[in-house]
Amino acid sequence: MIGALARMPSTLRTYGSSQVSNVIGLLIVAGALALTLQHVLQHDASFFFQILTIGLADGSIYALIALGYTMVYGIIELINFAHGDVFTLGAFISLALFPAFGIAEGKSGFGYVLPLLAVGVITMLLCGVINVAIERVAYRPLRHAPRLAPLITAIGMSSILEGAMYLWRGPFNLHYPDLLPATRLNIGGVSIGVKDLIVMTLAIVLVVAFTFFINLSKLGKAMRATAQDRDAAQLMGIDINRTIAATFFIGAMLAAAGGITYGLYISNVAFDLGFITGLIAFTAAVFGGIGNIPGAALGGLLIGLVRAFSDSYFDSSWTEVLIFGILIATLVFRPTGLLGMRVPEK
């Protein structure tokens, strides 16, 4: 037996410490779930489903932002800290476009659907163009620089975007028109808000459309190829610059859609919204597996659920601790995230 114990360190090395860390991670999750269950059972089922839908709605917004983070990381291995501010910019631009399309709070009915879609499309395209410009100016020149340089540039870009929004609309909270219907559905004795369902549906539609695009279109294939091996992709005749620009464009479109959805749901935006929201979305992307697209969506939903459950059943002072604790735990115990796979070193 002593011999077996003596051999254990080498056994650990053979399997990697991944097994041990997986077990520890699972134990932590099991403990957290048990604690949550205990609190959940103290309240009624209707409240539980309300919190569930609120958590999923928030999570959907985080998922839309996390997709942008994960795409950019996958393709050029850059954590684009300015991405959260592109999300805020989407909310700001749509807010500025509303008067031109006659959209204002207080009136109700389906008449808003088409103008809102129009504003949405224009905002997504504008944010896409702005993000491509940012990539061209701030990140492309540093593509072959040490990894720290574009990271710092991204932080600087984030400050520039926040400053621009501060100068544009001031530091005050801006009220985003409340356009989503306020009705509630009664499903099996549980009251669910239509608002939450709409937010989730919007996000699901966009994520599904995006997944189809990535897997079935030529540009999507080019993006996947560039993410896998940039040099080989180039040898295959893929225009790397165009592919990367397209990645930024699509990521910004999703972030802008997230911004509009956030505004419609939360009714409140400010110039510095992107900082914290971006950090949480980044945590979600890492949690799900950075570079992994379904992982980003899953991570977003889970972080949204964690936030909602923590705020409702526990003490909201601990929510941020919990979320960033998850980030640290993920990086320590399972750096590839929930759905990420170990990529062999070349």
Partner 1 sequence: MVLDVSGLPTNTKGKHMVRARGLAVLIIATFVAFACGGGTSGSGSKGEIDIASDLPTSGADASSGLPTQEGANFAVTRAATVRGFTLKFVPFDDAVNGVHDPAHGVQNVQAMISNKLILGMVGPFNSNVAKAEIPVANAAPLAMMSPSNTNECLTVTYAYCQAADGFTAESLRPSTNNNYFRVAAPDTFQGPAMADFALKAAPAGLGITKIAVWDDEETFGQGVANNFAKEFAAKGGTVVDRKSYDPKAKSDFHDFLASAHDKGAQGIYVGGTSATGACKARGQMAGIFNPDIYYLGPDGIGDAQCLTDSGAMATSNMFATQGVADATQNPSAATIVAAYKVAYPGATNIGAYTFAGYDCAAILIDAIGRAIDANGGNLPSRAQVIAQMPLTKNFQGLTGVITLNAAGDQTTPTLQFQQVQNKAWVFKSQFAVGGTS
Would you tell me which residues interact with partner 1 (CB under 8 A)? 43-44, 46-47, 50-51, 54-55, 57-58, 105-106, 170-175, 177-178, 180-184, 193-196, 265-268, 272-273, 276, 308, 311-312, 315-317, 319-320
State the nearest-atom distance from the C-beta of 221 to partner 1, in Å.
37
As to burial, measured by CB atoms within 10 angstroms (0-12 exposed, 13-18 middle, 19+ buried), residue 112 is: buried
State the nearest-atom distance from the C-beta of 295 to partner 1, in Å.
23
Using the minimum distance from each CB to partner 1, give the nearer residue, 315 or 345.
315
Contact 253, 125 (CB under 8 A): yes
Using the minimum distance from each CB to partner 1, give the nearer residue, 85 or 196.
196
- Taken in order 337, 342, 343, 346, the sign of the CA dihedral is positive
Using the minimum distance from each CB to partner 1, give the nearer residue, 77 or 178.
178
Contact 76, 69 (CB under 8 A): no
Using the minimum distance from each CB to partner 1, give the nearer residue, 61 or 227.
61
Q: How far apart are CA 286 and CA 240, in angstroms?
A: 25
Angle at 299 between CA 294 and CA 303, to 5 degrees: 155
State the nearest-atom distance from the C-beta of 268 to partner 1, in Å.
5
State the nearest-atom distance from the C-beta of 287 to partner 1, in Å.
17
Q: Which two tokens stand for residue 315?
A: 């003490």
State the nearest-atom distance from the C-beta of 42 to partner 1, in Å.
12
Q: What 3-state class would DSSP assign to 98? A: coil
Using the minimum distance from each CB to partner 1, give the nearer residue, 86 or 250.
86
State the nearest-atom distance from the C-beta of 164 to partner 1, in Å.
15
DSSP single-letter state for residue 336: T
State the nearest-atom distance from the C-beta of 175 to partner 1, in Å.
5
Q: What 3-state class would DSSP assign to 205? A: helix
Q: Which two tokens stand for residue 103?
A: 């959209």
DSSP single-letter state for residue 343: P
Using the minimum distance from each CB to partner 1, give the nearer residue, 156 or 171.
171
Alpha-helix runs per DSSP H in the chain: 2-15, 18-40, 45-76, 83-97, 113-134, 148-169, 194-216, 218-228, 230-235, 240-266, 273-288, 293-313, 319-333
Using the minimum distance from each CB to partner 1, give the nearer residue, 90 or 193.
193
Using the minimum distance from each CB to partner 1, give the nearer residue, 95 or 250.
95
Q: How far apart are CA 59 and CA 57, in angstroms?
A: 5
- Residues 6 or more apart in contact with residue 59 via CB below 8 angstroms: 284, 300, 301, 302, 303, 304, 305
Using the minimum distance from each CB to partner 1, give the nearer residue, 77 or 320.
320
- DSSP for 112-158, please give it: GHHHHHHHHHHHHHHHHHHHHHHIIIIIGGGTTS-THHHHHHHHHHH
State the nearest-atom distance from the C-beta of 36 to partner 1, in Å.
14
State the nearest-atom distance from the C-beta of 166 to partner 1, in Å.
9
